[in-house]
Structure 1
Amino acid sequence: MTTRDTMELREDDIRSHYLAATEMLMGVDHTPRIGTARHAPVVAERSPGVAATGRRFRSTTPGLVTRSTARADGVRLLERIAEQDDDDPLTSPLQATVGQALRRALSIALAVGQEYARQTPLVELKKANLEGRLPADRKPEFTELLAAEALAVLYTFGNATAFLLAPHASERTAEIGPVEEVLTDNAPLALHGALWELDQAIAAHAQDDATLVATVLAYAEQLMAKVALRGQEAPRISGFTAASWRVEADKLTIAGFKPALAAKGTALTMTFKKPNEVVGNHIAKYQSLRLAKMLMAYDFDRKLNPFAEMGGFIFTFMGDGAPGTGKTTLIQMMAGLLNDYCKVAGYPFRYQNFSIDQIDSYQGKSGQNAKAFINNVLDPGVIGFGTIDDIDQIAGKRGDKQSSAGQQEVTAVFMEAFAGANTVVRGNCTFGMFSNYPENVDDALRQRSGARFLVDGPQTREDYIDILALLMGKNHEIPVGAHELFAAQEMKRAVAASFEGHSRPHEDGLLRVWDQVGRDIGKLDTIAKLGTYLKAIQEADPRFTGRAIKNITDAVKVRAMDFELPDEWMEQPDLFLFKPYDEKLAMIRGMTQKITVEMVIQEINRYADSEFRYADKSDEVAISNMVRDFGRQEEAKRRYLEGK
């Protein structure tokens, strides 16, 4: 289904370019201008006396009078693809798929270029140039329009290639480096340069079918990034960026410099954990369980989740705790639940983790990696779960001289994605940030986590008995003793006790504010008194801003929907998952409860406790560092005076 402002890219227009696209893949003549040739072109073996019959592509675009840069050996991309498995004389099915995808992508790109020319004066100027009557004062305009068309065609080629090959991607990746041969004289020459550089990349990095697909996908992504960067300030590019085309046969939408995403899940190889294998962390475990089921309520037709519409959806959350308290186990549990639910429903599930090895020394590359991670998880065609483990090491604090440029880039991307002007929460995905040292995370980025999961691990005597019994396994006959195994992990009872524990603050700094407000205005039982308490917190910690209030109210709305979707709804999708959106919305509304003062107080204290905990740790770390620096200065001064 297309929106009103999206035009259809007709199939007949696309197929009219199949011949030209096929000839490009069979052979083009191109002498590189910017890139450096590192691999010899494919030279077809022929019997003696047999003349070459391969056809070379020549531009037939009206209005373009160009000189050939032909050389004896052209770029034969189809032959390059076929030679990647020298031991097999036949083309493999995946090699044929790559060739078909490239032809389709080239044809779509040429069709988009044709549409761009029709919607701008370019068609008229090409005709005038061909007839030799192009006015001198319009030559700069003609040059700019040709360059804009070339950028539009190049980006569409990369975009369509990545989209069409995404379902064939494996776990293999290829690091091909940035693309160089980006030419903007005209669209055909731009595509020739792209095919030449893709040929070089395949020769260097593709050894089998899996690496062939990985190499082509890597090239498409690098091409899109380079062209989008060039197109930011390109004149007359608005004819491309302001338009949107839909290729219905492929379910592909071309919308300017915005990557199209194919609905493909990921095959997970992690070790999943069952909820009963997570000991302690009651609130974090309970909210993770509920969030997994919330995500499954997403409606793929409406591209919206009823929970997101009602305001009770957790888009981002922060899980913090000391090392070894169970953060990784929570990730494994939630990913396992989503994976199982999606298998039953037949939904594509995509899990991705953004790790420290994606911070790159190349300028801009770390930001590109972060943006690709965000876009992959946000894809409205999948159920997505994105995690950022050890975010304090990945995203740098702004103004921190110890943070690398790559870390600063990542921080900027995450801040814009999680609560930026263009952020749209559909309810199909969630992002979890995890850290042992959340006080080292940039304040503004940390406050973009709508929910807080304190991952404090086993706490009670019962917790420690349960985790010992769980990890010991069954290869023993040691009696349990006077203890009912896992009774303390019974979810509802444990969660109720955990929430009730936040009826008063835990952190000393917040507790002082709580006591002072209680003495001044008495019991917090009205909105005015609750607002007074919030203002007192802000006076004690200026970092407690309006965004904190929004996060608290979102958490309260989640509490108002303090129910767990029945397991039967996940096991039998017809009971809920496959129902129309409006019916799902009505079913959820019927299960909600009224917001109470106790809920609001508990969520204020839970959130504020976390902020005071982070601030206290951050201040203590800063003070310790200053004390250490002063000690070093004094020691240096002493040694200096002794050496005189």
Structure 2
Amino acid sequence: MSLTTDQMELREEEIRSHYDAAYALLEGVDHTPRLAKGKEAAPVAGRSSGVPTRRRFRSTTPGMVTRSSARPEGVKLLERIEAADDDDALISPVQANVMNVLRRALSIALAMGEAYCELTGLAALKKSNLEGGLGADRKAEFSELLAAEAAVSLHVFANATAYLIAPHLSETSVEIGAVEEVLTDNAQLALHGALWELDQELAQFAKDDATLIATVAAYAEQLMEKIALRAQTLGRLEPFANGNWKVEADDFAIQGFTPARKGKGSTLTMQFKKPHEVVGNHIAKYQAMKLAKMLMAYDFDRRLNPFAELGGFIFTFMGDGKPGTGKTTLIQMMAGLINDYCQVAGYAFRYQNLSTDNIDSYQGKSGQNAKAFINNIIDPQVIGFGTIDDIDQLAGKRGDRQSSAGQLEITAVLMESFAGANTVVRGNCTFGMFSNYPENVDDALRQRAGARFLVDGPQTRDDYIDILSLLMGKNHDIPLGDHTLFSAQEIKKAVAQSFEAHAKPQEAGLLNVFDRVHAEVGDLDTIAKMGRYLKAIQEADERFTGRAIKNITDAVKVRAMDFELPDEWMENPEIFLFRPYEQKKQMIEELRVPITTEMVLQEINRYADSEFRYADKSDEVAIENMVRDYGRTEEAKRRYLESKG
């Protein structure tokens, strides 16, 4: 992939100029840990006599040591890597790959550090400091910039390592725990600390080629996450955080503190469904079909989707309904559509489901699993679709004593990822949360679902005839009878009828609010009147907050995009998908329809109906549980008195 308009090139000659320094770092550094404690591990075994050693680079850089001068406790990462195979005299291809990956990653980090110094003026301050000419008024700035350079160097080192090591990963994994030796005094000390801690991890976990690769990858991921959190407390990082660089030889993009990943799709084994095989669920099916095409408008060069810029892109949605109403079928349909579109366009498609298997008894592991799921889907180099089935079982409800620590960790990760301070919606992916019991989902997490898909299954007589015929298959001679198969599933007609049904609320509690406001102000045909209606809803349900209003207005913007991208745009990528970003944006704008008061009122009612439905179910479940508890108490008292009598 070529450079985009907003990318700067990190030139190959600049990276290669740091190869010798990077090799010296791997060969030996002298570091005394400041934050972490050393782990008990066997020392690196020395080479047997007669075994030749490789050429050694003798560094003259202060703080670095060579074989001849290193203290016994010094960090000799190359020797540590060689020792990860029961001291085989020959270096394996995997070990050589790890050495090359680490040298390359260090060189990229050093080159990026230099680029940051030039961008921020730190290079000039370093020169003044060496010459003794740094004024007292610049020392605070100097220290802040050194800390920022250290954070940049560490993150780029970890990011490049994770990216370059990824093709060599196997099914083997290791749990290394939290990274501790994260120093930000200056870039050199920061890298020394990172290499020291990586050496500690390799000494403990790297016993063969598979665990060697897994340990390096796990450490890089942990270091990236730790330094990204640390960076939130540091200043002067805007030039890096808002920048965009490309290492062309590796197809490696550096976008601030966003992890880079290979643009590889996942191998899907699910049984895809066609739209006509989803019976009923008209609005949910229509929105899923539109969303599948919206995702395809994503521009890989600009790393942005015109729908995300214009409004109307669905980043998160909640699909709820009774068991057996078609949630799994809806997932299979949407994943199948995106998969087919991506195959035509040659895009990488990645689908993943976060299931209850990701809840772990180890502290912090459930959160790590959820974060890995999020990062896998939001990768800007792929089209992503992430699902969280039975989210009421997976994510814990805060304040609920029955929620495990692992469930609460997952809740925290999902809330931060779906609408946190660092959430960036590029428009290349979407997340669907599905539940039979959405009332059991944490209120704040549920409100982070920007759209609501009511999955209510077949409703009409025609729906039931269609689904019976579909599931019976063709291996029978029973006549169809007086019925036009699937005519009721004509999407535009069915959707129009479904939307019109929301001109008035469907939940009794909300209908009372609507009727009262309508009696006071008449038709809700102005923003002021609709605002009054919203306030009345909030008075009836205090959970109806500003986030609910945002979700409603987002849904209205989706309705303004109430069109399906033409099928030929998906079938022939040259017509739309491969056009420049601005042309795609213009083509979409030409299809946009005006926003009407009917649209706004329907979306208010749709969203509020769902919240009242959840609240009513939640209250009813709580009442039933209390009644059951009271009944048990009375029965216990009766048996107790009988036993005493």
TM-score, normalised to structure 2's length? 0.83
Output the amino acid matched with 1:337: L
Partner Cα separation in structure 2 for residue 627 and residue 73 of structure 1: 66
Partner Cα separation in structure 1 for residue 302 and residue 182 of structure 2: 40
Output the amino acid matched with 1:175: V
Output the amino acid matched with 2:484: E
- Superposed counterparts of 1:492-507, under 5 Å: 492-507=492-507
Does 2:37 match 1:14?
no
Partner Cα separation in structure 2 for residue 587 and residue 240 of structure 1: 34
Output the amino acid matched with 1:440: N
Partner Cα separation in structure 2 for residue 421 and residue 147 of structure 1: 23
- Structure 1 range deviating more: 581-590 or 281-290: 581-590
Task: Answer yes or no: is the 8 Å Cα contact 2:158–2:221 preserved in 1.
Answer: yes
SS of 1:433's equivalent in the other structure is strand
* Deviation by residue 1:223-255 (Cα, 9 ceiling, x = unmatched): 323455566668x99699778573432454556
Q: Report the Cα offset of residue 273 of structure 1.
A: 1.7
* Deviation by residue 1:48-67 (Cα, 9 ceiling, x = unmatched): x6254245676642366897
Tell me which residue corresponds to 2:267.
267
Partner Cα separation in structure 1 for residue 440 and residue 104 of structure 2: 48
Partner Cα separation in structure 2 for residue 439 and residue 205 of structure 1: 49
SS of 2:206's equivalent in the other structure is helix
Task: Answer yes or no: is the 8 Å Cα contact 1:28–1:76 preserved in 2.
Answer: no
Note the residue ranges of structure 1 that are not aligned, 5 or more in a row: 130-138
Tell me which residue corresponds to 1:414.
414
Does 2:72 match 1:70?
yes
Q: Structure 1 residues 636, 238: CA separation in 2 closer, same or farther (over 3 Å shift)?
A: farther
Tell me which residue corresponds to 1:575.
575
Output the amino acid matched with 1:312: G
Task: Answer yes or no: is the 8 Å Cα contact 2:82–2:91 preserved in 1.
Answer: no
Tell me which residue corresponds to 1:136.
none
The one of 193, 196, 199 aligned to 2:196: 193
Tell me which residue corresponds to 2:171.
172
Partner Cα separation in structure 1 for residue 53 and residue 168 of structure 2: 34
- Superposed counterparts of 1:318-397, under 5 Å: 318-397=318-397
Task: Answer yes or no: is the 8 Å Cα contact 2:113–2:152 preserved in 1.
Answer: yes
Output the amino acid matched with 1:248: V
Q: Structure 1 residues 64, 103: CA separation in 2 closer, same or farther (over 3 Å shift)?
A: closer
Tell me which residue corresponds to 2:515.
515
Partner Cα separation in structure 2 for residue 52 and residue 643 of structure 1: 89
- Structure 1 range deviating more: 513-522 or 326-335: 513-522
Output the amino acid matched with 1:585: K
TM-score, normalised to structure 1's length? 0.83
Q: Structure 1 residues 475, 523: CA separation in 2 closer, same or farther (over 3 Å shift)?
A: same
Does 2:468 match 1:465?
no
Task: Answer yes or no: is the 8 Å Cα contact 2:28–2:64 preserved in 1.
Answer: no
- Superposed counterparts of 1:13-92, under 5 Å: 13-22=14-23, 34-36=37-39, 41=44, 50=50, 52-54=52-54, 60-62=60-62, 68-70=70-72, 75-76=77-78, 80=82
Task: Answer yes or no: is the 8 Å Cα contact 1:518–1:524 preserved in 2.
Answer: yes
Q: Structure 1 residues 122, 264: CA separation in 2 closer, same or farther (over 3 Å shift)?
A: farther
Q: Report the Cα offset of residue 215 of structure 1.
A: 4.7
Partner Cα separation in structure 2 for residue 260 and residue 570 of structure 1: 28
Q: Structure 1 residues 593, 29: CA separation in 2 closer, same or farther (over 3 Å shift)?
A: closer
SS of 1:512's equivalent in the other structure is helix
* Deviation by residue 1:577-621 (Cα, 9 ceiling, x = unmatched): 112222222222222222333323322221111111001011112
- Structure 1 range deviating more: 310-319 or 54-63: 54-63
- Structure 1 range deviating more: 385-394 or 288-297: 385-394
Task: Answer yes or no: is the 8 Å Cα contact 1:284–1:454 preserved in 2.
Answer: yes
Q: Structure 1 residues 151, 522: CA separation in 2 closer, same or farther (over 3 Å shift)?
A: closer
Partner Cα separation in structure 1 for residue 477 and residue 342 of structure 2: 39
- Structure 1 range deviating more: 25-34 or 544-553: 25-34
Does 2:206 match 1:203?
yes
Q: Structure 1 residues 39, 500: CA separation in 2 closer, same or farther (over 3 Å shift)?
A: farther
Output the amino acid matched with 1:514: F
Task: Answer yes or no: is the 8 Å Cα contact 2:312–2:555 preserved in 1.
Answer: yes
* Deviation by residue 1:299-336 (Cα, 9 ceiling, x = unmatched): 22333222222222212111001122211221121111
- Structure 1 range deviating more: 148-157 or 578-587: 148-157
Partner Cα separation in structure 1 for residue 563 and residue 8 of structure 2: 43
Tell me which residue corresponds to 1:132.
none
Output the amino acid matched with 2:360: D
SS of 1:417's equivalent in the other structure is helix
- Structure 1 range deviating more: 445-454 or 380-389: 380-389
Partner Cα separation in structure 2 for residue 151 and residue 643 of structure 1: 73
Q: Structure 1 residues 643, 27: CA separation in 2 closer, same or farther (over 3 Å shift)?
A: farther
Task: Answer yes or no: is the 8 Å Cα contact 2:253–2:260 preserved in 1.
Answer: yes
Output the amino acid matched with 1:317: F
Q: Report the Cα offset of residue 292 of structure 1.
A: 0.5
Partner Cα separation in structure 1 for residue 239 and residue 313 of structure 2: 35
Output the amino acid matched with 2:173: A
Tell me which residue corresponds to 2:623.
623
SS of 2:574's equivalent in the other structure is helix
Partner Cα separation in structure 2 for residue 413 and residue 354 of structure 1: 12
Q: Report the Cα offset of residue 428 of structure 1.
A: 1.9
Q: Structure 1 residues 322, 305: CA separation in 2 closer, same or farther (over 3 Å shift)?
A: same
Partner Cα separation in structure 1 for residue 399 and residue 493 of structure 2: 45
Q: Report the Cα offset of residue 440 of structure 1.
A: 1.1
Partner Cα separation in structure 2 for residue 344 and residue 377 of structure 1: 20
Output the amino acid matched with 1:68: A
Tell me which residue corresponds to 2:543.
543
Tell me which residue corresponds to 1:182.
181
SS of 1:573's equivalent in the other structure is coil
Q: Report the Cα offset of residue 21 of structure 1.
A: 3.5
Partner Cα separation in structure 1 for residue 231 and residue 291 of structure 2: 39
Tell me which residue corresponds to 2:135.
none
Q: Report the Cα offset of residue 479 of structure 1.
A: 2.7
Q: Report the RMSD for the aligned CA atoms in angstroms.
A: 4.2
Q: Report the Cα offset of residue 411 of structure 1.
A: 2.5
Task: Answer yes or no: is the 8 Å Cα contact 1:25–1:78 preserved in 2.
Answer: no
Q: Structure 1 residues 334, 43: CA separation in 2 closer, same or farther (over 3 Å shift)?
A: farther
SS of 1:319's equivalent in the other structure is strand
Q: Structure 1 residues 456, 558: CA separation in 2 closer, same or farther (over 3 Å shift)?
A: same
SS of 2:477's equivalent in the other structure is coil
Q: Report the Cα offset of residue 574 of structure 1.
A: 0.8
Does 2:566 match 1:566?
yes
Tell me which residue corresponds to 1:134.
none
Partner Cα separation in structure 1 for residue 492 and residue 86 of structure 2: 58
Q: Structure 1 residues 574, 150: CA separation in 2 closer, same or farther (over 3 Å shift)?
A: closer
Output the amino acid matched with 1:69: R
* Deviation by residue 1:185-235 (Cα, 9 ceiling, x = unmatched): 93564254244245347634754xxx765554223212323455566668x
Tell me which residue corresponds to 1:135.
none
SS of 2:14's equivalent in the other structure is helix
Q: Structure 1 residues 22, 590: CA separation in 2 closer, same or farther (over 3 Å shift)?
A: same
Output the amino acid matched with 1:174: S
Output the amino acid matched with 1:70: P
- Structure 1 range deviating more: 67-76 or 536-545: 67-76
- Structure 1 range deviating more: 352-361 or 449-458: 352-361
Tell me which residue corresponds to 1:246.
245
Task: Answer yes or no: is the 8 Å Cα contact 1:278–1:285 preserved in 2.
Answer: yes
Partner Cα separation in structure 1 for residue 633 and residue 149 of structure 2: 62
Task: Answer yes or no: is the 8 Å Cα contact 2:8–2:246 preserved in 1.
Answer: no
Q: Structure 1 residues 16, 498: CA separation in 2 closer, same or farther (over 3 Å shift)?
A: same
- Structure 1 range deviating more: 416-425 or 249-258: 249-258
Q: Structure 1 residues 600, 246: CA separation in 2 closer, same or farther (over 3 Å shift)?
A: closer
Note the residue ranges of structure 2 that are not aligned, 5 or more in a row: 133-138
SS of 2:529's equivalent in the other structure is helix
